[in-house]
């Protein structure tokens, strides 16, 4: 009974075995900050046009070569809870704007790193949080003042204006090729832009990746590109009406199981005949309505196909429901559930629909030049799958930027000009502040310096010189002085034409500070025992090895 008096004390004794409990500054806060710092050092080198690519191999052994932070953090499968908060913030940014995920993670990492210094100085996390909150509110205020005048309104159908806003976003993913990609994306987006630009739907710009050729062979198709062949032998149709059937092209069947009742051989023959006649009647009705192309969402019966061939109707099969809906939008058709005679209003129209072979892949291209410009496809060409994937991400970012500018067309100077201006003005604000918040606000301002620093570092320039030059320029009143990475000098962004969208910056900064404050607010972590399941250590180790590149 000696041991009985030494009862375990504290929380650990109360939890189930396998649980971990971390609390206090050293154990929880500092550790969390360190994890977030690690994460941001990984993504940081990918920031900006000269950012490095990462090679990530995920748990399915799929290889990614990209500088897109959203993809990197997604595939890394972060385990650490605090770092995960940053990843979630980046994901939110990705969903909301579609660009700027790297800024979120890197900036949050920088904020936390500076917070750590403050904690070591003796500040309490809650004081840092209150300072950071003040700082972000002030930042939003300043950011609004930095908006380039005249950018509030834009013509979303003017290609030059669109490209000027899109370039920076695309260039950070595919530097040197941004002109080609921007032009493609801008064309595609402008084409599908609805009357009310705020209703622009990202889904209407499709990307078809076809191996072979190079970026220069890429083009825009006004319509859809499907990676499939036509079903019948008719492979080409011009200026054709289209009938769409969602439920398949075959004889009608009952829901309840049916049995054919046959008493004699004669009846059997008759049955086959009536069946045939029925199908012919249906197909004939379709043909008479003027349709020359049938698109089916389900199976296509042998017999039906036969009659389609006879009536010179081209048959396509699109089994994905969403793809079928998109096709309906392209052609302006109304999908029928069952095979029946379509009314003239329900028929769609395409300029041409043809099966072509590009780079060894058979594709069906449906073009609709005049009528409904509701879908456009960017056909990307590239030599390897990973290049294509990366191009696709650049295009996606471009399209998302277009969507964002349709909603809010305001722009701010890019190339770190905004960041330096923010840093400078926040510092002034911090100096005017009394109380402990002052330190946190000035650290927040300092955090902005990481953007020019990283941009310069990634381009092999001397970061310190650049930052000093930027500060001098901004101090003398030139709020638009940014880095020209090609010449390695400071230049006015209205010359280099590097603009960022206001909305991207705003959301990125807000999400980043939100995430940083959340990490700082946590002072205790209670971790459950990880649930069972297959171990993925091998894949994780491979991924960790790749990060070091």
Partner 1 sequence: MSVRVLNPNAEVLNKSAALHMTINAAKGLQDVLKSNLGPKGTIKMLVGGSGDIKLTKDGNTLLKEMQIQNPTAIMIARTAVAQDDISGDGTTSTVIFIGELMKQSERCIDEGMHPRVLVDGFEIAKRATLLFLENFKTPVVMGDEADKEILKMVARTTLRTKLYEGLADQLTDIVVNSVLCIRKPEEAIDLFMVEIMHMRHKFDVDTRLVEGLVLDHGSRHPDMKRRAENCHILTCNVSLEYEKSEINAGFFYSNAEQREAMVTAERRSVDERVKKIIELKKKVCGENDNFVIINQKGIDPPSLDLLAREGIVALRRAKRRNMERLVLACGGEAVNSVDDLTPESLGWAGLVYEHVLGEEKYTFVEQVRNPNSCTILIKGPNDHTIAQIKDAVRDGLRSVKNTIEDECVVLGAGAFEVAARQHLINEVKKTVQGRAQLGVEAFANALLVVPKTLAENAGLDTQDVIISLTSEHDKGNVVGLNLMDGEPIDPQLAGIFDNYSVKRQLINAGPVIASQLLLVDEVIRAGRNMRKPTA
What is the DSSP secondary-structure string of 51-78? Answer: PPPEEEE-TT--EEEE--HHHHHHHHT-
> How far is C-alpha 276 from the chain's CA centre?
50
Task: Find the part of the chain contacting partner 1 (CB under 8 A) among 352-360, 411-419, 441-449, 517-525.
Answer: 517-525
Q: How far is the CB of 463 from partner 1 (least distance, A)?
A: 31
**65 token code pair:** 């070569």
Burial 480-496 (b: 16+ CB within 10 A, else e): bbbbbbeeeebbbbeeb
Q: Containing H/E element for 83?
A: helix 81-96
Is residue 540 involved in binding partner 1 (CB under 8 A)? Answer: no
Report the residue number, 12 or 472, with the smaller CB distance to partner 1.
12
Q: How far is the CB of 41 from partner 1 (least distance, A)?
A: 22
Is residue 476 involved in binding partner 1 (CB under 8 A)? Answer: no
Looking at residues 118 to 137 of the shown chain, list those that interact with partner 1 (rule: CB under 8 A): 124, 126
Report the residue number, 142 or 525, with the smaller CB distance to partner 1.
525
**262 token code pair:** 């046959």
Site string for partner 1, 246-285 (x = CB under 8 A): xx---xxxxxxxxxxxxx---x--xx--xx-xx-------
Looking at residues 27 to 46 of the shown chain, list those that interact with partner 1 (rule: CB under 8 A): 28
Report the residue number, 99 or 457, with the smaller CB distance to partner 1.
99
Report the residue number, 84 or 284, with the smaller CB distance to partner 1.
84
Q: How far is the CB of 87 from partner 1 (least distance, A)?
A: 9
Q: Measured in Å, how far apart are the chain's first and last C-alpha atoms?
A: 59
Task: Find the part of the chain contacting partner 1 (CB under 8 A) among 141-149, 329-337, 362-370, 433-441.
Answer: 329-337
Report the residue number, 268 or 489, with the smaller CB distance to partner 1.
268
Q: How far is the CB of 13 from partner 1 (least distance, A)?
A: 6
Q: Containing H/E element for 167?
A: helix 159-171
SS3 of residue 461 by DSSP: coil
Task: Find the part of the chain contacting partner 1 (CB under 8 A) among 138-146, 450-458, 474-482, 521-529.
Answer: 521-529
Report the residue number, 395 or 519, with the smaller CB distance to partner 1.
519
Report the residue number, 106 or 454, with the smaller CB distance to partner 1.
106
The C-alpha atoms of residue 70 and residue 75 are separated, in whole angstroms, by 9
Is residue 340 involved in binding partner 1 (CB under 8 A)? Answer: no
Residues whose CB falls within 8 Å of the CB of residue 2, separated by 6 or more in sequence, listed in order: none
Report the residue number, 90 or 355, with the smaller CB distance to partner 1.
90
Report the residue number, 233 or 343, with the smaller CB distance to partner 1.
343
Give the torsion through C-alpha atoms of 246, 248, 252, 255, to 10 deg.
Answer: -70
Residue linked to tokens 């889904």: 203
Report the residue number, 178 or 514, with the smaller CB distance to partner 1.
514
Helices assigned H by DSSP within 352-436: 385-407, 417-432
Q: How far is the CB of 44 from partner 1 (least distance, A)?
A: 22
Residue linked to tokens 């969507």: 403
Q: How far is the CB of 254 from partner 1 (least distance, A)?
A: 5
> How far is C-alpha 49 from the chain's CA centre?
18
Task: Find the part of the chain contacting partner 1 (CB under 8 A) among 392-400, 415-423, 482-490, 510-518.
Answer: 510-518
Q: Give the residue among 154, 147, 141 at the shortest CA–CA distance from 197.
A: 154
Instruction: Give the total of residues touching partner 1 (CB under 8 A).
Output: 72
Task: Find the part of the chain contacting partner 1 (CB under 8 A) among 89-97, 170-178, 385-393, 408-416.
Answer: 89-97
Q: How far is the CB of 118 from partner 1 (least distance, A)?
A: 16
Judged by CB under 8 A, the residue of 57, 215, 334, 542 near partner 1 is 334
User: What are the angstrom distances between the C-alpha of 424 and each of 163, 224, 368?
Assistant: 30, 49, 52
Is residue 325 involved in binding partner 1 (CB under 8 A)? Answer: yes
Q: Give the residue among 329, 253, 333, 323 at the shortest CA–CA distance from 294.
A: 333
The C-alpha atoms of residue 188 and residue 206 are separated, in whole angstroms, by 9
Looking at residues 427 to 466 of the shown chain, list those that interact with partner 1 (rule: CB under 8 A): none
Is residue 25 involved in binding partner 1 (CB under 8 A)? Answer: no
Task: Find the part of the chain contacting partner 1 (CB under 8 A) among 4-12, 305-313, 463-471, 488-496.
Answer: 4-12
Is residue 144 involved in binding partner 1 (CB under 8 A)? Answer: no
Q: How far is the CB of 116 from partner 1 (least distance, A)?
A: 18
Report the residue number, 254 or 476, with the smaller CB distance to partner 1.
254
Give the torsion through C-alpha atoms of 368, 372, 375, 381, to 10 deg.
Answer: 20
Is residue 525 involved in binding partner 1 (CB under 8 A)? Answer: yes
Residues whose CB falls within 8 Å of the CB of residue 240, separated by 6 or more in sequence, listed in order: 291, 292, 293, 314, 349, 350, 352, 353
Report the residue number, 317 or 336, with the smaller CB distance to partner 1.
336
**213 token code pair:** 């050729």
**Which sign, positive or negative, has the C-alpha torsion 43, 49, 55, 56?**
positive
**4 token code pair:** 């009985």
Report the residue number, 459 or 513, with the smaller CB distance to partner 1.
513
Q: Give the residue among 335, 324, 306 at the shortest CA–CA distance from 243.
A: 335
Looking at residues 46 to 85 of the shown chain, list those that interact with partner 1 (rule: CB under 8 A): 79, 81-82, 84-85
Looking at residues 221 to 250 of the shown chain, list those that interact with partner 1 (rule: CB under 8 A): 246-247
Is residue 383 involved in binding partner 1 (CB under 8 A)? Answer: no
Residue linked to tokens 């990475």: 485
Report the residue number, 195 or 257, with the smaller CB distance to partner 1.
257
DSSP structure class, residue 161? H
Alpha-carbon Rg for the chain in angstroms? 30
Is residue 9 involved in binding partner 1 (CB under 8 A)? Answer: yes
SS3 of residue 197 by DSSP: helix
């Amino acid at each position: 009974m000696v041991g009985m008096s030494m009862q375990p004390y504290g929380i650990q004794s109360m939890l189930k075995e396998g649980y971990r409990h971390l609390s206090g500054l050293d154990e929880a806060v500092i550790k969390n900050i360190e994890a977030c710092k690690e994460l941001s050092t990984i993504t940081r080198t990918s920031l900006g046009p000269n950012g490095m690519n990462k090679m990530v191999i995920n748990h399915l052994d799929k290889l990614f070569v990209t500088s897109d932070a959203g993809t990197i953090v997604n595939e890394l499968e972060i385990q650490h809870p605090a770092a995960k908060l940053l990843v979630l913030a980046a994901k939110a940014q990705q969903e909301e704007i579609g660009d700027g995920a790297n800024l979120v993670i890197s900036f949050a990492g920088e904020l936390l790193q500076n917070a750590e210094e403050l904690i070591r100085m003796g500040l309490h996390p809650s004081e840092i949080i209150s300072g950071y909150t003040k700082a972000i509110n002030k930042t939003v205020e300043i950011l609004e003042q930095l908006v380039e005048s005249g950018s509030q309104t834009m013509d979303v159908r003017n290609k030059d204006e669109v490209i000027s806003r899109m370039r920076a976003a695309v260039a950070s993913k595919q530097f040197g090729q941004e002109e080609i990609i921007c032009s493609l994306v801008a064309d595609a987006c402008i084409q599908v832009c609805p009357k009310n630009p705020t209703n622009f739907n990202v889904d209407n710009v499709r990307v078809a990746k076809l191996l072979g050729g190079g970026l220069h062979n890429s083009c825009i198709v006004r319509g859809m590109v499907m990676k499939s062949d036509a079903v019948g032998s008719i492979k080409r149709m011009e200026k054709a009406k289209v009938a769409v059937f969602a439920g398949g092209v075959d004889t009608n069947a009952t829901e309840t199981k049916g049995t054919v009742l046959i008493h004699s051989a004669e009846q059997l023959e008759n049955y086959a005949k009536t069946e045939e006649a029925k199908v012919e009647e249906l197909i004939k009705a379709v043909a008479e309505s003027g349709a020359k192309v049938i698109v089916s969402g389900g199976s296509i019966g042998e017999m039906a196909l036969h009659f389609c061939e006879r009536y010179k109707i081209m048959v396509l099969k699109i089994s994905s429901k969403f793809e079928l809906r998109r096709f309906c939008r392209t052609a302006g058709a109304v999908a029928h559930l069952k095979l029946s005679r379509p009314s003239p209003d329900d028929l769609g129209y395409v300029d041409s629909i043809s099966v072509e072979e590009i780079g060894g892949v058979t594709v069906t291209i449906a073009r609709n030049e005049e009528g409904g410009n509701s879908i456009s496809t960017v056909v990307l060409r590239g030599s390897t799958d990973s290049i294509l994937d990366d191009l696709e991400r650049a295009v996606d970012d471009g399209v998302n930027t277009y969507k964002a500018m349709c909603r809010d067309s305001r722009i701010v100077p890019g190339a770190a000009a905004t960041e330096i201006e923010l840093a400078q003005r926040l510092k002034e604000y911090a100096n005017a502040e009394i109380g402990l918040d002052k330190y946190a606000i000035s650290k927040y301002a300092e955090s902005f310096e990481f953007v020019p620093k990283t941009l310069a570092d990634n381009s092999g320039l001397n970061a310190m010189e650049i930052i000093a030059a930027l500060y001098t320029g901004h101090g003398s009143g030139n709020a638009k002085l940014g880095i020209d990475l090609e010449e390695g000098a400071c230049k006015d962004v209205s010359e280099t034409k590097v603009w960022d969208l206001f909305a991207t910056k705003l959301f990125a900064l807000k999400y980043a500070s939100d995430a940083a404050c959340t990490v700082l607010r946590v002072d205790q972590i209670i971790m459950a025992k990880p649930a069972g399941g297959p171990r993925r250590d091998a894949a994780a180790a491979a991924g960790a090895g790749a990060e070091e590149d």
